[in-house]
Amino acid sequence: MEVGGAIREAKKGTAELVVLAFLEDQSLHGYELTQLIDERSGGALTFNFASLYATLYKLEERKWIQGRWVEKAGQRRRRYYTITAEGRRVLETQRHEWRQFFALIRDLAGVKYA
Amino acid sequence: MRDRQLRHWRALVRDRAKAEWRELSSEVVDELACHLADLHLGALEHGANGADADRIANDALRSASFLVLSRRPRARRSPVGYVHDIRIACRQLLATPIVTLVAVVSLALGIGANTAMFSIVNSLLLRTLPVAHPEQLVIVQSAGQATSWTNPIWEEIRAQSDRFAGAMAWSATRFDLASGGEAHFVPGLWASGGFFDVLGTPIVLGRGLTRDDDRRGGGRDGPVAMISHGLWQRQFGGGADTIGRRITLNRVAYTIVGVTSPGFFGPEVGGTFDVIVPFGTEPLVAGRASQLDARSSWWLNIMLRLKPDQTPAAAEAALNVMRPAIREATMPAGVGARFAAQYLADTEPFTLAPAATGRSPLRIRYQRPLLTILVVVGLVLIVACANIANLQLARATARRHEIGLRVALGASRWQIARLVLIESALLALIGAAAGQLFARWGSALIVSQISTDAAPVFLDLSLDWRVLAFTTGITVVTVLLFGTVPALHATRADPTGALAEHGRSGSGPRGRVTGALVITQVALSLVLVVAAGLFARTFTRLAHLPLGFQTDGVLIVSASAPRNQFEASQLPALQERILAAVRAVPGAMHAALSSKTPAGTGNWTDRAEVPDMAPMSEPDRRVAMNSLSADWFTTYGTPILGGRDFDERDTAAGRRVAIVNEAFVRRFTHGANPIGRTVSIGASYLAAPPVEFEIVGLVGDAVYRSPRDPIPPTVYIPNAQRDGPMNTAYIGVRTTGDPMRLARSIEAAIAAVDRNVVLTFRSLEDQVGANLVQERLVATLAGFFGALALLLAGLGLYGVTSYAVTRRQAEIGIRMALGAAPGGVVRLVLARVAVLVGIGVLVGAGISLWASTFVATLLYGLEPRDPATLAGCAALLATVGALAGWLPAYRASRIDPAEVLRNA
């Protein structure tokens, strides 16, 4: 695999996990979500804005999150996304699987995560 | 301010989507615009200047692909997604115009032919009569399913018609509208009074026929007639003043009292009428030959309308209660005691058959041929579908890169399948639309082909729900047939593989699928070609049968003396004068007058007996009869094998003489010379004794009615010695060249004898040809569609082999670089073709052997499993297959290995 390819592939698989994780504690709109991801990852993880919304719509279609238009005082109307009960279950399962996966990689390849 | 910004970003998002041929829902546009506006604002807040903030937001927009967003769940509910797919499908179809054209033309022919055949089948077999409650109509039949009755029987039933909701009778005929010279015949009906009340058909103008109109000789208004909507428009310009005007029918003046509705063609499907007149006026037209009191003339059809609560069984019982009285009252005249006792004791009950779809002699004759052709065109459509499926597969394969990209960008399997299916549906729709035009033209053409001068055919081919449902159904089935495989194939596209390959060739499952499609095509084409072969050979056999007479150069003139203008006793002398006048026409080499013509309509049989003949069943004693003038055999070209022709000695007062044919000799004298023997002619049931004739001549066998029938034993007698005169005499005229040339001068010559004689002209060739209309039609249609299937199969095979050669170019190049000879390459390519064609031919032969027995009744002088036809057709198909395979194989053998290896 070419250099960087592993990370790109991993990013594709982790996008859903990341979005679900960010929505776990609060409702967010799309722009807030990109800002938070950018901030917390220190710029290492960025979303093309079209693929961010593609991911959001896909999750919504699977009923893992739910979006609705909210108009807050003094702000423009925005679509906020909230995680559903089903989404929480999926997030837990995915977290568990990733943990197992990293444990395996650590044992096999000596890679440690921070 | 904020709103204006949002509008700005909305417009940019929409433009960007448009550039990508995407449609986004307004919600998605709002959300993306909102995001970009926030991004822009965020940049400004972080200290960027206006230009930089614009650039950041614009970069985000430009780098986005909207492919995945265009299938936002909410957007999919709107038809926008489909509109978009249709647009893409249109572009795809236009990108390969030749392939699209081939597909559309094959589909138009396939769907059109199916619709054309179905609309004929529909109007002949399925459509109900355009009358009120057609399901209440029943037709009166004998147990033997005969539907003709005498007028005395009808009058008995009419007298007790209150046992039913109504009863009516009719008889199809034709009326001469001309007032002199050549006849101008139009189809007509004799009908009972109250005909339209019983049928419940609307009348456009005037009134219907009443019971009063049906009185003998006409009612209070005198002889009245109703005319069809068509005649009203053609002859009377649709004027309201038509009611009360006169119309001449067979030289008798009738008053027009009504016009029928445009969609009504009468109770007989396949026929139509221009004039309807009451039975009661028949004596005015027929004079002394009136059939109203004739108890042996079975010429009219009877239909009953059941009461709303009456079952057919109850009506049948009510009718059969009347049977003994009917028998008593309708005993045929002049029968012997034995026959009379049989007639009275006859236990054959009346039966009632449902008549919602009317009565139709045409239906009986054409049902099987039409259904056969319907199956044929169905198979052609399947062959066409297989072809288009292969074309679509090739197209889908060529688009693997594009489809792979779509999958990689998140398109679902269903979306990819939908895209390919919409393309197929679009093709089918265009094909179906073009097919409709072809169908309208084709069905009218077929009806005109089965229609002859003597028996014109009319079928109502207008669109109804059945035809619409059939066409819609067949279009959907077509899409499923040729669209499913390519759609499924497209969904299997592997994104990573397709992207990496960059559209280079693939193989695997597609090869197997195309192989199966080609085998299907070859097999079905063989079935069609075998059917075409069988029908063509049947037609050729019938067309080349020895007829026993020479068809070319003979004109047949029918000369009818209107019965209300001539006494029966005048007819023989009149006919003699007409014959003499015709013989004097320049160009008439021979002319003769007879009561029947070879292979003509009408039948005259009688019972024959020869002294010392072997015991024989009654049916075997029936002989065909004809009465003739001198020179008849020379005129028609039937050889006189022994004895003499009739001549001036054979008068009414002279010795009764007869000429017989070879079939008569075989049956009645066991091959012994018949000349000098006597033959007694006369029905056994008649009270009068048979008449004895001395046989004076022997002639060759000649077809009497249809070339399909075996030639019957035939007895010819002189005109002067027949029992009663002929109302219609046929004058055969032999000439050189086109016989119709003589028509005008013969018409003038006969008019000089008597202007009132009604004439029709027809060549003998036409008359014989009219007997083979059904066989010719089936052979022509099967031949056309067989050839079409062959062409499609050839194209399919060519396409598949070409594709395979292109795919294996590199392999072939390497083989040639390693020393393979061009011949070896040709063999390599042809080997696969041979396998496909071989399997197809085997499967097709099996289907043909199984299916051919279903068409056995349509064949003549051939076994349905005729080995020569099957072998010939298989060879033809193998040849077409070899040719279709050889062209790409030859091209493969010309490949320059160096070039191929460089590009590999």
What residues of chain A lie within 8 A of the CB of B73, using their CB? 57, 60-61
**Helical ranges in chain A per DSSP H:** 5-23, 30-40, 49-61, 85-109
Distance between CA atoms of residues B29 and B557, nearest Å:
84
B-contacting residues in A 22-61 (Cβ below 8 Å):
29-31, 34-35, 48-51, 53-54, 57-58, 60-61
CA distance B292 to B281: 10
Q: Return the pLDDT at B684.
A: 62
Q: pLDDT, tens digit, for every residue of B676-709? A: 999 999 866 666 778 899 999 999 999 998 888 8
- AA identity, residue B478: T
Taking CA atoms, what residue in B is nearest to A67? B31
Q: What's the pLDDT tens digit per position in B583-603?
A: 999 999 999 999 999 988 777
The pLDDT of residue B904 is: 55
Sheet of A28-29, strand order: A28-29, A78-83, A65-70
Dihedral of alpha carbons B473, B474, B478, B481, sign: positive
CB B284 within 8 A of CB B227: no
B247 vs B254: CA distance, rounded Å: 5
Cβ–Cβ contact A76 with B under 8 A: yes
Contacts of B491 (CB under 8 A, 6+ apart): B413, B414, B416, B417
Burial string for B394-416 (b: 16+ CB within 10 Å, else e) reads bbbbebbbbbbbbbeebbeeebb
| Strand partners for B555 | B733, B763
Q: Is B466 exposed, middle or buried (0-12, 13-18, 19+ CB in 10 A)?
A: middle
pLDDT of amino acid B285: 85
Q: Sketch the domain layout of chain A as residue ranges.
A: 5-109
What residues of B are in contact with residue A50 (Cβ under 8 Å)? 32, 63-66, 68-69
Query: Per the CB < 8 Å rule, is B31 touching A50?
Result: no
Strand partners, B693: B679
Q: Chain B closest CA to A8's CA: distance in Å?
A: 14
B521-537 in b/e burial notation, b at 16+ Cβ within 10 A?
Answer: bbbbbbbbbbbbbbbbb
Structure tokens at B483: 């669209």
CA distance B426 to B421: 8
**pLDDT the model gives residue B708:** 83
Q: Which residues of B touch A60 (CB under 8 A)?
A: 73
Distance of CA B368 to the CA centre of its chain: 10
Residues of chain A with pLDDT under 50: 1-5, 114
Which chain B positions have a beta carbon within 8 Å of A66's beta carbon? none
Contacts of A31 in chain B (CB under 8 A): 34-35, 38-39, 42
List, for chain B, all residue ranges whose pLDDT scores fall below the cut of 70.
1-2, 21, 67-81, 144, 181, 346-347, 408-410, 454, 493-511, 683-687, 903-904
Partner-chain contact B2 A50, CB within 8 Å: no
The pLDDT, as a whole number, for residue B142 is 81
Task: Give the Cα separation of B808 and B813 in Å (integer).
Answer: 8
Specify the amino acid at residue B818.
L
Residue B690 DSSP label:
P
Contact check, Cβ <8 Å, B38/A51: no
The whole-number pLDDT of residue B347 equals: 64
Of B550, B577, B805, B552, residue with least CA distance to B700:
B550
**What CA–CA distance (Å, rounded) separates B85 from B416?**
10
Q: Do B32 and A60 touch (CB under 8 A)?
A: no
Report chain A residues whose CB lies below 8 A from the CB of B9: none
Q: Which pLDDT belongs to residue B277?
A: 95
Rg (CA), chain A: 16
Q: Any residues with CB less than 8 A from the CB of B314 and at least 6 apart, and which?
A: none
- Smallest CA–CA separation between A31 and chain B, in Å? 5
Looking at residue B76, its pLDDT comes to 41
- Which fold does the domain A5-109 belong to in CATH? Arc Repressor Mutant, subunit A (1.10.10)
CB contact at 8 A, B287 and B276: no
A-B CB pairs within 8 A amount to 57
**DSSP-derived secondary structure letter, B730:** E
